[in-house]
Amino acid sequence: MVDRKPDSAEANGNREAPLDVLIAGAGYVGLTAAVSLKQARPGLAIAIVDAAPAGVWQKDGRASAIAAAASRMLEQLGVWEEIAPEAQAITEMIITDSRAADPVRPVFLTFDGEVAPGEPFAHMVANRDLNGALRRRAEKLGIDIIEGMAVSAFDVNGAGITVHLADGAALKARLLIAADGVNSKLRDMAGIKTVKWEYGQSGIVCTVAHERPHNGRAEEHFLPAGPFATLPLKPDKDGTNRSSIVWVERTEDAKALVEGDEFVFEHDLEQRFGLKLGEIRVADKPRAWPLGLTLARAFVAPRIALAGDAAHGIHPIAGQGLNLGFKDVAALAEVVVEADRLGQDIGALDVLERYQQWRRFDTLQMGVTTDVLNRLFSNDIGPLRAARDLGLGLVERMPKLKDFFIRQASGLSGDTPRLLKGEAI
């Protein structure tokens, strides 16, 4: 792998050897798609083009919840062994429903953190560690990454697609995978419409250092403005205990919090975090992102497949956004690899339709679920609060139903692609 811009020969015309697959976007979705396809079919010519400047990924201080199915996939792809020492297992999950000022937060629901003996249902992984491990695996497989270069246009021409880059270079491929995020320009270029609305909420993300260890426990507190999640991280190199915070507030309040006085931010944070883990301090600069629901009306077009946030952007209330992206990749890779083995055209619309049929309903279902959960819990309506707390209490008393939710959260329910089962394709 070489992180570079195209050389002058490429800038003056098409590459002499057309690609089989070109992927737009070098986040976890684009990288995993490239590694999945190349590992299964080494003969495929695959490249990634990314609009972000080289090295930007190294500045990402966020962490993500990696479900058990996704970690099985990463193990199959040869990267989990590198990630695992820095990954924090989630050993327990508790859910509360209260107001921020309430002195006591009753626990309505608890989950054991294992889907199988010794296998946690999720791990917390720093985004830098995940991206770095995938990049190194891509390098070992000989996948080229062109950084700092956006796609400006593309032309579908029979058996292929010509992708024009911002500097005038043109790359030919049989299949273009759009993994360029929730505001995907490629999706718009392909004429794919979306269902989209904003929640009037923003998610504040930061890392919190605390005195006492979290022991792998994650917490989600449902508050009137939105959920406040505390997610366990590995201690840093100095042994400092840390947790990742995903704090949902109304957009105007979130903006005031992250741009305002640090003392006010820490006071409001402490009110929600509590002192159960001793004194706390903010370990990095808090940032906020607006939240909404975005669902592509189609996941494919001639020679193009959408994956990850380009196909769907959902509320973080269930922590499933990243894992939906991994499921897209696993399904798309399985479809493309099977078609290639059968000698079929991997970019043909009938092939890509198999991927769309596999993933669209599941994604719609998750989008609707997170939307309903957010509307149900992000309010302070008395009768609704009583009803939802009764529902949480009933789930707590039904072990089989709790096991069902754990399987859902782990990504191991439904029609699961082989990679998510830890199987080769």
Domain ranges of the chain: 19-197+291-420
| Token pair listed for 191 | 């004429």
* pLDDT band, residue 12 (cuts 50/70/90): very low
Average pLDDT, the chain: 92
List all residues 6 or more positions away from 291 whose beta carbon is below 8 Å from its beta carbon: 198, 199, 201, 202, 203, 248, 315, 316
* pLDDT band, residue 7 (cuts 50/70/90): very low
The answer to whether the CB of 51 falls within 8 A of the CB of 65 is: no
Rounded CA separation 227/348 (Å) = 42
Q: Which pairing describes strands 122-126 and 88-89: parallel, antiparallel, or unpaired? A: antiparallel
Alpha carbon 117 to chain centroid distance? 26
Rounded CA separation 209/278 (Å) = 10
pLDDT in tens, 273-300: 999 999 999 999 999 999 999 999 999 9
* pLDDT band, residue 2 (cuts 50/70/90): very low
Whole-prediction pTM: 0.92
The answer to whether the CB of 128 falls within 8 A of the CB of 12 is: no
Where do we find the tokens 């399904």? 331
Mean predicted confidence (pLDDT) in 256-284:
95
Rounded CA separation 250/281 (Å) = 23
β-sheet bridge partners, residue 203: 248, 289
Where do we find the tokens 């737009």? 24
Where do we find the tokens 């049989």? 174
The answer to whether the CB of 161 falls within 8 A of the CB of 304 is: yes
Please state the φ and ψ torsions of residue 415, each to the nearest 5 degrees.
-80, 90
| Token pair listed for 201 | 């909420």
The answer to whether the CB of 108 falls within 8 A of the CB of 95 is: yes
User: Which fold would CATH assign to domain 19-197+291-420?
Assistant: FAD/NAD(P)-binding domain (3.50.50)
